[in-house]
C-alpha cells in the first residue's frame, strides 16, 4: 500500500492533503485506504449509522460533522457494524466516543477528538455530497489514503488517467 508521503511524491499535482493534520487515530488500523463515501451532518449521526450498516468493502466513510466537539458521531456499536460490513475506515471531522473499544476494532478511525456525549438521532444529514473539509474538497468516489502522516485524497478520474499514461 502507498503511504501518504509516497502518494504525494508520485502525484504532487493531483493529490489533495487535509491540512492541518489534526486528526487523531482511534481505531486499531492506523493505515487504511479506499473509495470515498461522504456524509454531511451536524450533531446527528443518523446517516452515519445507516451508511455503516451497508456493505462497505474497500470503502472509507468521510463525515463532515461541522467540526463540532459537542457530540460523538461514532461509537463502539456503529463502528463494530462497520467492521462487520467490511469498511476500510472512517474519517470524521467531529468526535467519537467509546475510545477504549474503538482501539480494539479492526478498522481505521480518524477524528478530531473524543467526547462521551451521543447525538440525538433526528434523521438529519446528507449522503454522497461534496464536502469542504480542512482546506480541500472531498467528493464521493475519490480515493483516500490515511496513515500516521495524515490524510491524502486523489480523484478516481486522476487515478484512471495516471494508469492510462496520460
Q: What is the CATH number of the domain that holds 125?
A: 3.50.30.40
Share of the chain above pLDDT 90, in %: 85
Could you tell me the pLDDT band of residue 163, with boundaries at 50, 70 and 90?
low
Q: Does some domain include residue 93?
A: yes
- Residue 4 in any domain: the answer is no
Considering the entire predicted model, what is its pTM?
A: 0.94
| Residue 128 belongs to a domain | yes
12 found inside a domain: no
For residue 86, tell me if it sits in a domain. yes
Beta bridge partners of 52: none
- β-strand 143-147 against 32-40: which pairing, if any? antiparallel
Task: Provide the domain limits for residue 86.
Answer: 22-164
How many domains is the chain built from? 1
Mean pLDDT of 72-101: 98
Number of H helices, E strands in the chain: 5, 12
Averaged pLDDT for residues 148-153 = 95
* Residue 67 in domain: yes
Amino acid at each position: 500500500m502507498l503511504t501518504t508521503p509516497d502518494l504525494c511524491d508520485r502525484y504532487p499535482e493531483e493529490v489533495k492533503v487535509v491540512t492541518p493534520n489534526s486528526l487523531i487515530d482511534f481505531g486499531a488500523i492506523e493505515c487504511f485506504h479506499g473509495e470515498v463515501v461522504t456524509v454531511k451532518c451536524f450533531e446527528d449521526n443518523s446517516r452515519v449509522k445507516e451508511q455503516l450498516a451497508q456493505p462497505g468493502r474497500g470503502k472509507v466513510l468521510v463525515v463532515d460533522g461541522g467540526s463540532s466537539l459537542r457530540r460523538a458521531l461514532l461509537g463502539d456499536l456503529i463502528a463494530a457494524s462497520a467492521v462487520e460490513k467490511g469498511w476500510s475506515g472512517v474519517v470524521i471531522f467531529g468526535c467519537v466516543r467509546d475510545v477504549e473499544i474503538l482501539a480494539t476494532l479492526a478498522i481505521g478511525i480518524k477524528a478530531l477528538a473524543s467526547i462521551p456525549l451521543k447525538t440525538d438521532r433526528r434523521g438529519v444529514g446528507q449522503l454522497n455530497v461534496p464536502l469542504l473539509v480542512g482546506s480541500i474538497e472531498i467528493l464521493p468516489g475519490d480515493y483516500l489514503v490515511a496513515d500516521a502522516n495524515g490524510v491524502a485524497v486523489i480523484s478516481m478520474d486522476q487515478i484512471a488517467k495516471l494508469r492510462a499514461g496520460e
